């Protein structure tokens, strides 16, 4: 049995060889090469007749129709698909994937369509970009260059913001993951050239682009450029500068051992259906007509991780696997009123975090640079929270560090104290000395009964004396 569904609105044809719950189809869109996708077919008998619905990660329309007409059935279908996906994973008995609600899709649309400035250094102009545009351009240029993009995902605090809005703190970097294959060094170079070439396309009209080289664009707009190519990790990161701390971070991942630090930042939202909607749909997005968007928690249990996010609870797995132990992120969550899901468990986990942090950053200079960089990127516009953060970091290091020698531990604590004092000085928050009573300790020889001096009265000297 064969089915041919011609969708005139999107000007594309779907050809299906057999009708069953899940089949492989080829999409033939005018002007584009054929693309193979997985299609979920649902046949429904209603009083008005028989309806055939189809859903795929590339075409948003049909999933939205099923979801709006038959929400119970759609939830059931998605649950069955999700259970099948997690069938062979022993670590998790529950589903790591979920379909976003209309409210969440609406917030995602706001994030993707918001204008984000990419600030240039020196005399270079500011680029006004929308996340949906730069992601679509990069993906299309990668595919033209021979690099297939498996999917595109929104990651990190921005994904958490989309899922739960009212957390009392705004998202920072715009983290986007492109899942690609990086078998050789050539692919890394192609990715870098594609991203820099995309920046050239976003330069304002009137700018002479002929003499602007990729190296010039890198110096002007790229804040961070990272490449990791080992047996277990193959990925690269290009971070575009934003003076307000909202950098556009484009991450190209083949393999990566650890994708999250805590359950609340383990969410990834697949953007393919949204990008297809922007490209093909002519109808404005609404509750009755919007793409079906799925989210995944790489922590393992989507429902549990979402509960942690809503209730502001901290949970993680194997923190010793995280570079830096997740220590700085953990203290960031604490300063934002998150609480450990299990106090007892986290007392032990704090020791793992501190141990891994000092293994990765053993030198006092490295520790200072790491903490300062974290403050600079995660506390933009939150100067008053920096001191509280450093005090929490000092407390955790003081109570949970077991891997350092005594003098090394005191050296690190002294460093954090100095950084906190400097933060207060920058805020002009150092107390007025006229309102403070200071104490000093007399020299030991003053307490010697054989010591005699004209300036010392013949009286018992206390251990500490007030300055005034």
- Supply the DSSP string of 448-467, one letter for each residue: -TT---TTS-SSPPPSSEE-
Confidence at residue 384, expressed as pLDDT on a 0 to 100 scale? 85
How would DSSP label each residue in 312-349?
TEE--S-GGGSGGGGHHHHHHHHHTT-EES-HHHHHHH
Confidence at residue 447, expressed as pLDDT on a 0 to 100 scale? 56
Instruction: Give 373: exposed, middle or buried? Use CB within 10 Å, 0-12, 13-18, 19+.
Output: exposed
The span from the CA of 335 to the CA of 309, in Å, is 15
Compute the Cα dihedral for 197, 201, 202, 205 and give only its sign.
positive
Confidence at residue 319, expressed as pLDDT on a 0 to 100 scale? 85
Confidence at residue 356, expressed as pLDDT on a 0 to 100 scale? 94
Nearest by Cα to 285 from 139, 138, 130, 104? 104
Contact between 178 and 146 under an 8 Å Cβ cutoff? The reply is no
* Beta-bridge partners for 270: 153
Confidence at residue 128, expressed as pLDDT on a 0 to 100 scale? 94
Going by the DSSP 8-state scheme, the letter that residue 297 receives in this structure is E
Confidence at residue 63, expressed as pLDDT on a 0 to 100 scale? 45
Structure tokens at 309: 């996010």
What residues does each domain of the chain span? Answer: 3-90, 96-311, 314-427
The span from the CA of 97 to the CA of 269, in Å, is 10
Structure tokens at 138: 């990069």
The span from the CA of 371 to the CA of 393, in Å, is 10
Nearest by Cα to 325 from 339, 346, 310? 346
Confidence at residue 247, expressed as pLDDT on a 0 to 100 scale? 92
User: Phi then psi for 358, rounded to 5 degrees?
Assistant: -80, -20
Compute the Cα dihedral for 292, 299, 305, 302 and give only its sign.
positive
Confidence at residue 466, expressed as pLDDT on a 0 to 100 scale? 56
Nearest by Cα to 262 from 352, 325, 178, 311? 325
User: Phi then psi for 33, rounded to 5 degrees?
Assistant: -70, 155
Helix, strand, coil percentages (3-state) for the chain, rounded to 5, are 45, 20, 35
Confidence at residue 174, expressed as pLDDT on a 0 to 100 scale? 93
Contact between 296 and 268 under an 8 Å Cβ cutoff? The reply is yes
CB-facing half-sphere around the CA of 468: CA atoms within 13 A: 6
Any idea what the Cα angle at residue 73 is, between residues 69 and 78, rounded to 5°? 115
Confidence at residue 426, expressed as pLDDT on a 0 to 100 scale? 85
Sequence-separated (6 or more) residues with CB below 8 Å from residue 325: 319, 352, 353, 354, 355, 356, 357, 360
Going by the DSSP 8-state scheme, the letter that residue 443 receives in this structure is -
Task: Give average pLDDT by consecutive 10-residue segment, the chain, 468 residues.
Answer: 33 32 40 45 38 42 44 43 46 73 96 95 92 96 95 94 78 92 94 94 87 91 93 94 91 94 95 95 89 94 94 91 93 94 88 93 95 90 90 95 89 95 82 55 57 51 53
Instruction: Give 363: exposed, middle or buried? Use CB within 10 Å, 0-12, 13-18, 19+.
Output: exposed
Confidence at residue 59, expressed as pLDDT on a 0 to 100 scale? 41
Q: How far is CA 64 from CA 57, 99, 132, in A?
A: 12, 11, 20
The span from the CA of 39 to the CA of 59, in Å, is 9
């Amino acid at each position: 049995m064969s089915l041919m569904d011609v969708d005139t609105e999107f000007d594309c044809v779907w050809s299906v060889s057999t009708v069953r719950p899940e089949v492989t189809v080829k999409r033939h869109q005018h002007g584009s090469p054929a693309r193979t996708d997985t299609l979920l077919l649902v046949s429904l008998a209603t009083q008005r007749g028989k309806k055939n619905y189809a859903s795929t990660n590339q075409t948003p329309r049909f999933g939205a129709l099923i979801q709006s007409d038959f929400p119970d059935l759609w939830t059931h279908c998605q649950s069955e698909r999700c259970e099948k996906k997690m069938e062979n994973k022993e670590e998790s008995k529950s589903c790591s994937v979920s379909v976003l609600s209309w409210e969440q899709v609406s917030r995602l649309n706001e994030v993707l369509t918001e204008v984000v400035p990419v600030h240039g250094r020196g005399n270079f102009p500011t680029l006004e970009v929308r996340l949906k545009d730069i992601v679509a351009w990069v993906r299309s240029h990668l595919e033209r260059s021979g690099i297939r993009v498996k999917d595109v995902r929104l990651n990190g605090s921005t994904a958490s913001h989309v899922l739960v809005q009212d957390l009392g703190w705004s998202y920072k970097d715009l983290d986007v993951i492109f899942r690609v294959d990086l078998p050789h060094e050539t692919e890394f170079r192609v990715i870098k050239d594609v991203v820099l070439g995309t920046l050239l396309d976003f330069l304002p009209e009137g700018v002479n682009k002929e003499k602007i080289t990729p190296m010039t664009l890198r110096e002007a707009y790229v804040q961070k450029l990272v490449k990791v190519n080992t047996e277990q990790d193959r990925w690269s990161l290009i971070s575009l500068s934003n003076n307000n701390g909202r950098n556009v971070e484009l991450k190209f991942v083949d393999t990566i051992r650890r994708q999250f630090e805590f359950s609340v930042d383990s969410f990834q939202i697949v953007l393919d259906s949204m990008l297809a909607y922007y490209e093909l749909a002519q109808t404005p997005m609404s509750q009755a007509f919007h793409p079906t968007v799925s989210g995944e928690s790489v922590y393992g249990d989507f429902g549990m991780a979402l509960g942690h996010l809503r209730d502001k609870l901290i949970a993680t797995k194997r923190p010793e696997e995280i570079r830096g132990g997740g220590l700085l992120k953990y203290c960031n969550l604490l300063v934002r009123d998150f609480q450990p899901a299990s106090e007892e468990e986290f007392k032990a986990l704090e020791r793992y975090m501190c141990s891994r942090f000092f293994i990765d950053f053993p030198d006092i200079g490295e520790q200072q640079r790491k903490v300062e960089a974290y403050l600079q990127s995660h506390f933009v516009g939150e100067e008053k929270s920096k001191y509280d953060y450093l005090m929490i970091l000092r407390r955790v290091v003081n109570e949970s560090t077991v891997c350092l020698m005594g003098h090394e531990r005191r050296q690190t604590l002294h460093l954090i104290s100095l950084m906190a004092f400097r933060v207060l000085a920058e805020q002009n928050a150092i107390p007025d000395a006229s309102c403070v009573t200071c104490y000093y300790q007399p020299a030991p020889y003053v307490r010697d009964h054989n010591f005699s001096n004209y300036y010392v009265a013949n009286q018992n000297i206390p251990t500490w004396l007030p300055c005034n």
